[in-house]
Amino acid sequence: MSAPDTRRVLVLNGPNLGRLGSREPDVYGSVSYADLVERCTALGRELGLAVEVRETNDEGEMIRWLHEAADGRLPVVLNPGAFTHYSYGMRDAAAQRTAPLIEVHISNPHARESFRHTSVVGAVASGTIAGFGPDSYLLALRALAGQDARPRSTTGG
């Protein structure tokens, strides 16, 4: 259990992200998933955040985690992986957020295949950070640390 003054944050990862380090290192780099988890939790401690990192290849599980975050008013760092481009169920779950949700991507989707240029999540996220390798997660955690836990509007500015 986290200390009362420590904000809990979920870092949620979609399909194939558990294979970091061995999956297309020319695109995703050589940092392993275990290393990513350690980097996120270590920075979280520095920032006063209780960071919990999860990964799933199952769309239903991701949706349940987003519901958990909404019900618990938990900020989320979300790398939807391939779900980014087509999962309207996940998009609808993300739209129910009650705290900031930052979409992250290790690579820059706009510099890749055209099917990756569309995110169904982006419009309901607080913001998107992409193209900075594993540092995309760290930048998102720093952004969350600078925000309070109040809900943000998903319509406009």
pLDDT in tens, 5-54: 579 999 999 987 877 665 655 655 567 889 999 999 999 999 999 999 99
| DSSP three-state, residue 8 | strand
Catalytic site positions: 28, 105
Residue 16 pLDDT: 76
pLDDT in tens, 95-116: 999 999 999 998 877 656 675 6
- What global pTM score does this model have? 0.82
Residues that constitute the known binding site for substrate: 79, 85, 92, 106-107, 116
pLDDT in tens, 112-156: 667 566 788 988 999 999 999 999 999 999 999 987 544 444 444
Domain ranges for the chain, please list them: 7-145
Residue 64: count other Cβ atoms within 10 Å of its Cβ: 13
Residue 154 pLDDT: 45
Domain 7-145 = CATH 3.75.10.10: no
Residue 81 pLDDT: 87
Q: What value, to the nearest 5°, has the Cα angle with vertex 82 and ends 78 and 88?
A: 75
Residues that constitute the known binding site: 79, 85, 92, 106-107, 116
